Amino acid sequence: MEQSGKDKRIGVFVCHCGLNVAQSVDVEKVVQEISSYPGVVHAEHYQYMCSEPGQELIRKAIKDHNLNAVINANCSPSLHEKTFRGLVQAEGLNPYHQEVANIREHCSWPHANDRQTATRKAIAIIKATIDRLKLNMALTPAVINLNKKVLVIGGGVAGMQAALRIANGGYEVVLVESSPSIGGHAAQLSGTFPTLDRPACLVAPMMAEVAAHPRIRLYAYADIEEVSGYVGNFAVKIRAKATCVDETKCTNCGRCFEVCPVAVPSEFDRGLSDRKAIYRPFAQAVPFRPVIDVLSCAHFSDDGCSACEQVCSENAISYDQKDTVIEEELGAIVVATGYDLITRGIAPEYSDDPDIIDGMQLERLLSPTGPTGGVVKRPSDGKVPKEVVFIQCVGSRDQEHGKSYCSRVCCLYVAKQSLLYKRSIPEGQAYVFYMDIRSDVKGTEEFVQNVVEKGRTMYLRGRVSKVFRDGDKLKVWGVDTLTGKSIEIAADMVVLATAMVPRTDAKDLARVLNIIADQNGFFTEAHLKLRPVDTLTSGIYLAGTAQWPKDIPDTIASASGAASRILSLFSREELLHDPAIAYVDEELCVGCGQCVSICAYKAITLDEKQKLASVNEAICEGCGACAATCPSKAMKHKNWTPKQFFNIVDVFTKEYE
C-alpha cells in the first residue's frame, strides 16, 4: 500500500495572499528554489491563488505539465484545502494527491518582520510537504449505506416537534416514549409564559398530530434497550412494556378504573391525587388506552386480585402479557429525553410539610384539568391559600448543595404562576423571594414587570432561611437584601422553584448511545456555538431539555434544528466518509486490543479468534490515537504514516541542523 513517490509529477503554487504572505516571504525566491526540488515539475506564484484567475492557473498547469500531484502553499488547510482538493478532482486527479503547505499562519504571520527567516522557513515547509505528498496514497471516500428512518427518544415537546418535522419532511420516524402517554411535562402545565397559552392549545394538537401521522410509529410505554451501529446504519432494540390490556379489544369504557382497589399517587398530578393500578395517565393521553402498572397491581403482588378482569365485558385484560422486544433499523437518532425536577431533599430548611410544594405541583393545582379543577387549594386541608410564598433558585445556582447552573425557566414560570394564582384567588397575595430576575426571552421582561405592577406580586430580593409550621400557617423567615430587612411572612402555602435536572437514567442512555453527558448529566453537544444540536457521535442529535434547561421556545428551536440536520443528512442518497482514516496492517497485528480501548468512537472491533483488529470505515474519524498506541505498528493512519512523519522531520532537521 505504501507509495514510492517516484511516479508523482508535482506542481507547486505559491500564493501571495495579497501582502499577507508576500510582505515577509520572498515568493520569487521560493519558486526559484522549489522548482529544482526533486519531484517538482512546475512551480509558480500568484497574488490570490484561491481566486478564479488563480485557480485557472492551476488548471492550466495541470494540463500543460501533465501534473498528477499538487502543493498549494498558502493559508491554513482549514480555509482552502477543500477548495483546492475540489479543483484537482475536477481536473481528474485524486483529491488526496493535493496537500496544503501552510506558509501564512505558520510562517509569514509569526515572522512578519524578518523576511530572510520567513523565506527560508517557507521553503522548508514546502519541501517537507512535498516529501510527505510523495508518499500519499490515492484514496476514495468510503460509501456508507443510508437508512432513511429516524429514531426519536422521548415524546415530550422536543421529541414530538422533531418527529413531526422529520415525518413531514417525508421520512419514517419511530418515536419511543417511556411513560404510557406522550406529551411530556408540557402536558402537565397550567399555562405558558409570557402569553399564558394553555397547553391544550400548544401540546394537545401536537399529540394528536403525532398519533395520526402516517409516517410516525409510536411506541409509548417502551424503553430503549440496545443501540448498535453507526450513522446511516443504527440497529435498535426497543422493549415495549406489557400493558396487560389487549388494545384491540379494549373500548376505553373505564369500568376497570372504578373497580380497581389499588390507589397510588398519580405521576401526572405529581402526587396530589391518586390513580389506580390500571389507569390512563390523564384524560387527553395519547395513545388513549389503559395500562396496568404491574409494580402496584394487586394481581401480581399478593392474593391475585382480578377485579378489572371480572368487570371487563370485552375480555381485554390479559395479565400474562409479556414485554416485547422490537428491532428497528435506522439512519439517525434524536435524543429528547427531557428533564426532572431536583428532589426536595436538597433544601432541608424548607421542612417536609404537605403545604410546601414544588413548581410542578402548583402547575397541577392551577390547571383546569388538575386535582382541584383549577382553583388553588392547599394540599393539607383543601383551604384556599390567601398568602403564598414562592422561593426561587432552590437547588440551582447553589454549587455547594445543588447545581451550579441557572435553571433558566423558574423566574418566568414563578411570575406566571403568581399571576394565575392571583386570577384564581383575587384577594390572595403572592410573595416571591428571588436572587436575580432573569427574563431574557422575547417579551418576558415586560411580562415580569406587568406581574409586579398589575399583578401586585411582592418581589423580595433575598433568600429564605427557614420555613416551618406555626399552627394553621407556615412561617417563612427571609430577608430583603435591598433594604437589609429581615422578613417574616405567615403563609398558607409555600412553592419551591426547584432546579431542572436531567432524567435520572440519562447517563445510562449516554452509555448505550455512546454520547457524552456532562457532570450534571445533561447531554453534551459537539460544539456549543457551531454544532449545538449535534453530538460527537455522528448521526445522533439532541433536542430540548436533555441538553440543558430550556423553555418551550428554545426547546422547539433545538428540536427543529435537530430535524433540519437530519433532513439535510437524508438529502443525499448515500453517505461519503473521509477516507483519511486508520487501517490495520493485518500481517503485523497481534490482536492485543489496545487500539480498541483507546478509540473514542468505538470504531475498532477485535476478532478474538483470529487475533485481528479491524476498523469500521464509517465510524473512524481519523484522529490517529490508535496508530500512536499500537505497540506493533500495525495500526496506521492513511496518508499520515510514520515514514511520512520522518520525511517531514528529515527536511526540517536538515534545514536547521
Phi, psi of 251 (to 5 degrees): -105, 5
Given the rule CB under 8 A, which of 44-52, 308-316, 486-494, 592-600 is the region that contacts another protein? 486-494
Q: Should residue 449 be labelled a site residue for another protein when binding is judged by CB under 8 A?
A: yes
Any contact of residue 598 with another protein (CB under 8 A)? no
- Contact (Cβ atoms closer than 8 angstroms) between residue 268 and residue 281: yes
Please say whether the beta carbons of 555 and 543 come within 8 A.
yes
CB 289 within 8 A of CB 280: yes
Closer to another protein by Cβ: residue 252 or 481: 481
**Based on CB atoms, which residue is closest to another protein, 41 or 458?**
458
- For helices 444-453 and 410-424, angle between their N-to-C axes, nearest 10 degrees: 40
Q: Which amino acid is at 199?
A: P
Our finding on whether 477 is near another protein (CB under 8 A) is yes
Q: From the CB of 340, what's the least distance to another protein, in Å?
A: 30
From 489, 515, 542, 562, residue interacting with another protein (rule: CB under 8 A): 489
CB 523 within 8 A of CB 335: yes
| Three-class SS state of 433 | strand
Q: 541: closest CA among 166, 208, 144?
A: 166
Which grid coordinates belong to 346? 436538597
CB burial class (10 A; 0-12, 13-18, 19+) of residue 367? buried
Q: Tell me which stretch binds another protein (CB under 8 A): 410-418, 460-468, 587-595, 624-632.
A: 460-468
Q: Which residue in the set 425, 487, 536, 592 belongs to the binding site for another protein (CB under 8 A)?
A: 487
Which residue in 468, 505, 560, 625 binds another protein (CB under 8 A)?
A: 468
Strands (E), 532-623: 540-542, 575-577, 582-584, 604-607, 612-615
Instruction: Compute the residue count for the chain.
Output: 657
Interface with another protein (CB under 8 A), residue from 460, 474, 533, 540 = 460
Asked if residue 302 binds another protein (CB under 8 A), the reply is no
| Candidate ranges 170-178, 262-270, 453-461, 547-555; the one touching another protein (CB under 8 A) | 453-461
Asked whether position 322 contacts another protein by CB under 8 A, the answer is no
Q: Which of 145, 306, 486, 568 binds another protein (CB under 8 A)?
A: 486
End-to-end CA distance of the chain: 32
Grid cell, residue 173, equals 420516524
- Note whether 482 binds another protein by CB under 8 A: yes
| Stretch near another protein under the rule CB under 8 A, chosen from 1-9, 16-24, 71-79, 485-493 | 485-493
Which range in 148-156, 175-183, 272-280, 459-467 contacts another protein by CB under 8 A? 459-467
The piece of 20-28, 249-257, 258-266, 466-474 that touches another protein (CB under 8 A) is: 466-474
Minimal distance in Å, beta carbon 486 to another protein? 5
For residue 483, the minimal CB distance to another protein (Å) is: 5
CB of 468 to another protein, least distance (A): 5
Please report, as a single letter, which amino acid is at residue 453. E
DSSP SS3 for 424: helix
Using DSSP's 3-state secondary structure scheme, residue 412 falls into helix
Is 2 a binder of another protein (CB under 8 A)? no
| Grid coordinates given for 252 | 376505553
Query: Residues 12, 15, 18, CA angle at the centre, nearest 5°?
Result: 170
**Interface residue list for another protein (CB under 8 A):** 429, 431, 449, 452-453, 456, 458, 460, 465-466, 468, 470, 475, 477, 480, 482-483, 485-490
